Amino acid sequence: MKLDLHTLTQQHNLTPRGIIHIGAYEGKDLKRYPTPDTAKILLIEANPKAVEHLQANFADKPNVIVSQTAIANHTTPVTLNLTSIESNSSILPLSGYREIYPNLKVTQQITLESRSLDTLLRELNLRPVDFNFLYLDIQGAELLALQGATQLLKYIEAIYTTVSYEDLFEGGALIDEMDAFLAQHHFVRVAEANPYHPAWGEVFYLREHLSLNNDEPQLSSNKMTPPVVEETVTKAELLQTQQELEDLQSRYEQIQKELEQSQIQQQQTQTELSQTQQQLQTSQTELSQTQQQLQTSQTELTQTQQQLQTSQTELSQTQQQLDQSRSELHETREELELTQFQLDEIQVELEQSVSQLHQTKEELAHTQEKLQQTQAELTQLQQEQNTPKSSPNHSTAHVKMLAKIIAETLPDS
């Protein structure tokens, strides 16, 4: 069963006039304790996304201040481990907490500058005296926050905090360490509860003088039960039943919240699975298309190779034909050269023949002249022969001369 902070504050006559809530997440836990309209409220959250929700949820509340800060006992960089249930995120690594909730996974890590509470109040120009109620829910880092708030603790009257009974976070403090530290600052544990698991719970600390004024017994570091108020049996049973109902309601809300987270994760997983299947189908389609293109390319390559072989064969044939044509051309050239040589010889012989023809013509003309001359002489000789005065010797002489002329005129055989 969760602690009833409304009842506890009433029992101890405590009115929150200034509240510091560390680990506010989205601000739903503010309903667990009284928040007067006049109270100044400082909500501190490290998760940037949760801070956006806080600012939106309390934008119309002028008394609410929202700060996005990681609280520790120093001012150095820290790593915020965001988990699948973001309200369980911590600046400390998970250890035993992971064994209790095996489905809880670290989904993201963010590096942030941490601040101590005292430093943050100075930076925000807030006075520690204005705050008397401190609420801590930061998953194992509660003692770190208290160690950095020594000035603030002088004015705080009540502290609500989650505590660990086992090692749940690396470097996280156990309840005995929390008791010892707060005892040094005059706080005593007056109530505690384990609503979800024996390994962790929640504790309500009160400043000593307030506890004594309300006749509350001082408690040891061992677990205790909440103080009993004198009432009738019927009323006590009614209150117990009401608390049990509230406890069941709180557990139901927590389970419902975890179920919603699981459903969201399942939807995300299904969405991712659907996307992956679609991507796989797309990849298979692309692979099939690629294989078809490859087959087409291989077919085209085979055809191209065949065409290339055919072209090579044709080129080889053409080369052979070219070589044959060159050989025939060479032979034709030789024949032409031989024919040209023969033509040259014929031309020379023709020129010689023409020269001889001219010479023969000249000789024939000369012979013709001589024949004409001889004919004239023969005519004259005939005339003389017909003359009675001529002598035989004289006739003989003329015949010899005519024979000589004829012999000279005729060409040599």
* 250-306: pLDDT as tens digits: 567 667 777 777 777 777 778 788 788 888 888 888 888 888 888 888 889 989 889
Taking the CB of residue 176, how many other CB atoms lie within 10 A of it?
12
Q: What are the start-end ranges of the H helices in 124-232?
A: 142-147, 175-184, 208-213
User: Using CA atoms, how far apart are residues 278 and 54, in angstroms rounded to an integer?
Assistant: 37
Please say if the pLDDT value at position 352 is more than 70.
yes
Look at residue 49 in the predicted model and tell me its pLDDT.
92
Question: Is 18:133 a contact under the CB 8 Å cutoff?
Answer: yes
Tokens encoding 59: 């934008």
Helix (H) or strand (E) holding 294: helix 233-385
Percent pLDDT > 90 in the chain is 40
User: Using CA atoms, how far apart are residues 338 and 25, in angstroms rounded to an integer?
Assistant: 115
Q: How confident is the model at residue 221 (pLDDT cuts 50, 70, 90)?
A: very low
Percent pLDDT > 70 in the chain is 84
Q: Which neighbouring-strand residues pair with 134?
A: 20, 159
Mean pLDDT, residues 337-343: 85
How much is the pTM? 0.53
pLDDT in tens, 154-193: 999 999 999 999 999 999 999 999 999 999 999 999 999 9
List Cβ neighbours of 411 (8 Å cut-off, separation of 6 or more): 360, 363, 367
Mean pLDDT, residues 225-249: 50
User: Using CA atoms, how far apart are residues 250 and 195, in angstroms rounded to an integer?
Assistant: 8
Q: Is 248 or 344 the better-scoring residue by pLDDT?
A: 344
Q: How confident is the model at residue 228 (pLDDT cuts 50, 70, 90)?
A: very low
pLDDT in tens, 53-63: 999 999 999 99
Mean pLDDT, residues 98-112: 89
Radius of gyration, CA atoms only, the chain: 67
Candidates 133, 176, 131; CA nearest to 12 is 133
Write b or e for each residue in 261-276: b if 16 or more Cβ atoms lie within 10 A of its Cβ, otherwise e.
Answer: beeeeeeeeeeeeeee
User: Using CA atoms, how far apart are residues 191 and 189, in angstroms rounded to an integer?
Assistant: 6
> Domain 5-227 is in which class?
alpha beta
Mean pLDDT of the chain: 83
